[in-house]
Structure 1
Amino acid sequence: MLFIVIGIPVAGFWVSSYLHKPLPLEDQAVVDVPRGASFSGLLSGMRRDGLLGDPGEARLRRWGARLYSAFTGLDARLYVGEYQLVPGDSLLTLLEKIDRGEVMQRSVTLVEGWTFREWRALLEGLDGLAHETKGLEEGEIMARLGLPEQHPEGWFAPETYFYTRGTSDLDLLRRALERQQRILDDAWLSRDEDLPYDEPYQALIMASIIEKETAVPDERGRIAGVFINRLRRGMRLQTDPTVIYGMGEDYDGNIRRSDLRRATPYNTYRISGLPPTPIAMPGRDSILAAVRPAPTEDLFFVARGDGSHKFSKTLAEHQRAVREYQLQRRSDYRSRPEPAK
């Protein structure tokens, strides 16, 4: 009788010690708890995947897990999701994460200056995301997001977004849309007086052009000032990014004279004023530049070749800058800074 009284606690302690013992992990691992999963099914799956160790250790870990579940009631409230384990984690680590619903977070960065088409391609390639927009036309997507008459370009805020497995791409786009709407509304309320556009959407269009023209933060306000000066004087914007956007998939990396003569709604060498829609996804700083441009008398700018621009007040100055920076291009010439590595 004494042996039983002593032996049961000792056995229980011995079994429970395997809950604390690190799992045999050489690298990170992900344990998936699908909808409708049972506690025994979870443990069986981990055993099959080799996460519980050799057969003897696996048996003891499973017994220990059942003891934990009996005391906590975990088997009745398994939170669906993915749970990440790293070397050194124990089975107890996993069970406590499941008990708290501490599911693994994935992330995706929607990049400033990308187009909606590029964003869709990125989202379609993401693992763990439910692809509800696959096969939908752009208009159908915007209708599901509550803006049935809007072109999608420009309406989604560049940012890093976190999501869990099973999140839909539509939900992620909705978050980006709501964020961009808040940014645009707040910026519009703080806008300068006498801007050459009278609605927030026009500011969004301008912001997208600014975004594509420069990635140098200090230049955004000045470039906005140039474009606004041109609009106020009735001058055409004559900006290459709008031409490129209008070319669509025909753009092969070069703009030819014939492209500048082609009549498209986005060819600002041919049309007056702003194009009909944004041409990319502008970030917050470009939106602020569009509504609060830097004071300047400049009417022109040209890429120096190092990512920055040379600004000019007169056509003569601009033509000299063009000869200096663009007619004698070096092999390392670029109009935008190289991306950070």
Structure 2
Amino acid sequence: MTIKMTMIIMLIVLLILTTISYLLQIEQFSAKPLLLQKEKIFTLSSGANQYSLKIFLKKEHLVSSHIDQLSQLVTLEPKLALIKAGTYRLTPGMTIRDLLLLLVSGKEAQFPIRLAEGSTLKECLNSLAQAPYLKHSQQECIKLKNLLEGNFYPDTYLYTSSTFDSEILDRAQLRMETFLKKIWHERDKHLPYTSPNSLLIMASLIEKETSIKKEKARIASVFINRLRIGMKLQSDPSVIYGINKDYHRGITRKDLAVPTPYNTYFINGLPPTPIAIPSQSSIEAAAHPEKSNYFYFVSDRNGGHIFSTNLINHNQAVQKYRKQRKI
């Protein structure tokens, strides 16, 4: 073998070794964990590229060194350059490659928001207004305010930073419509409801009257019994809703004397709309009330209620309640 040939072979070997070393360095760089002690939310703006990504990583001190190797990694693997704008969740243990793959996938961070049973539309709108990364629209807010009370299924909904507040309520409204339609078809026969909405109104009253699941069907029976004989429902939560008062402050005789469409001490039958978002258990109780002879109930001061079939027993229960309240 000539000296020239030997030199060529040595150069080839050197080139191979250099290439392998280079590739190993890039691979080691891509496998480095980001310097994260806790979860971090990161927004990649529209039009961002690897250059702006490098600036972010450097500014946030997420990479210890050799940040320029990011360009080399992307050059070797062009698919990693196809990053998408969005808001992402970075977690401890995530490597640089994991980060790039996440940005390429476009799988944005999801945030939870709870539409709680028993909450009003006003309370839901306040929660939506305070939710992070949720988009808001003046025109959509007008639409939201025109929606009926209580027509949303209570649950925790996930959204991304590209979601509008109205989309959350649209999803919740569709779920409630679907669930209510099912319950309406399965309801007990001969109940004094004229429509699925009237069942929903009843469920909202039950929801605000008790949080004890096993009591709900009995509460429903009281209201159903009253409706059947044309007796006023006399539901305090409905009165409170009508005067737009804080439910937790209780009710006074003065409140009961305020004539509103929701004052069930004045009006006959159900109020015009639900007074809150009813839970699934309250809707089921409205659709399948207990069969009873009860026409009255009052708090027992322990979270539950005392039920009575006649006014004499009810007044005795009320007096007992008032005495306990003074103690």
Report the TM-score when normalising by structure 1.
0.87
Asked if residue 108 in structure 1 is aligned to residue 128 in structure 2, the reply is no
CA distance in 2, matches of 1:121, 1:35: 29
Cα shift at 1:307? 1.5
Aligned to 1:337: none
Preserved CA contact (<8 Å) 1:16 1:64: no
Aligned to 1:334: none
Question: Is the partner of 1:326 in helix, strand or coil?
Answer: helix
Asked if residue 179 in structure 1 is aligned to residue 175 in structure 2, the reply is yes
Asked if residue 307 in structure 1 is aligned to residue 303 in structure 2, the reply is yes
Aligned to 1:147: none
Cα shift at 1:80? 3.1
CA distance in 1, matches of 2:256, 2:225: 22
CA distance in 1, matches of 2:273, 2:57: 52
Question: Is the partner of 1:301 in helix, strand or coil?
Answer: strand
Q: Which amino acid aligns with 1:83?
A: Y
After superposition, the C-alpha distances for 1:157-212 in whole angstroms (9 at most, x for unaligned) are 11100001121001111001101111111110111111111211111111110111
Matches within 5 A, 1:255-270: 255-270=251-266
Preserved CA contact (<8 Å) 1:113 1:212: yes
Preserved CA contact (<8 Å) 1:20 1:92: yes
Aligned to 1:295: 291
Gaps of 5+ in 2: 1-10
Cα shift at 1:5? 2.0
Asked if residue 66 in structure 1 is aligned to residue 74 in structure 2, the reply is yes
Question: Is the partner of 2:205 in helix, strand or coil?
Answer: helix
Cα shift at 1:109? 0.8
Q: Which amino acid aligns with 2:239?
A: V
After superposition, the C-alpha distances for 1:46-72 in whole angstroms (9 at most, x for unaligned) are 22222122xx33233x245424xx425
Preserved CA contact (<8 Å) 1:19 1:64: no
Preserved CA contact (<8 Å) 1:191 1:292: yes
Q: Which amino acid aligns with 2:62?
A: L
Aligned equivalent of 2:267, options 271, 280, 304: 271
Q: Which amino acid aligns with 2:266?
A: R
Larger radius of gyration between Structure 1 and Structure 2: 2
Q: Which amino acid aligns with 1:46?
A: L
Deviation larger for 128-137 or 114-123:
128-137
Matches within 5 A, 1:13-28: 13-28=24-39
Gaps of 5+ in 1: 144-150, 332-341
CA distance in 2, matches of 1:134, 1:161: 22
Preserved CA contact (<8 Å) 1:224 1:289: yes
Rate the CA distance shift 1:180–1:135 in 2: closer, same or farther, 3 A.
closer
Asked if residue 319 in structure 1 is aligned to residue 303 in structure 2, the reply is no
Question: Is the partner of 1:58 in helix, strand or coil?
Answer: coil
Aligned to 1:81: 86
Rate the CA distance shift 1:223–1:249 in 2: closer, same or farther, 3 A.
closer
Preserved CA contact (<8 Å) 2:26 2:73: no
Asked if residue 127 in structure 1 is aligned to residue 132 in structure 2, the reply is yes
Cα shift at 1:134? 7.2
Asked if residue 46 in structure 1 is aligned to residue 52 in structure 2, the reply is no
After superposition, the C-alpha distances for 1:227-274 in whole angstroms (9 at most, x for unaligned) are 000110111000100110011158782422122122111111111111
CA distance in 1, matches of 2:140, 2:201: 27
Aligned equivalent of 2:204, options 198, 202, 208: 208
Aligned equivalent of 1:32, options 10, 31, 43: 43
Asked if residue 245 in structure 1 is aligned to residue 236 in structure 2, the reply is no
| RMSD, aligned CA | 2.0
CA distance in 2, matches of 1:189, 1:133: 38
Cα shift at 1:141? 2.7
Rate the CA distance shift 1:179–1:308 in 2: closer, same or farther, 3 A.
same
Report the TM-score when normalising by structure 2.
0.90
Q: Which amino acid aligns with 2:74?
A: R
Asked if residue 280 in structure 1 is aligned to residue 276 in structure 2, the reply is yes
Aligned to 1:12: 23
4+ long deviations beyond 6 Å:
none
Rate the CA distance shift 1:134–1:28 in 2: closer, same or farther, 3 A.
farther
Cα shift at 1:135? 8.3
Question: Is the partner of 1:263 in helix, strand or coil?
Answer: coil
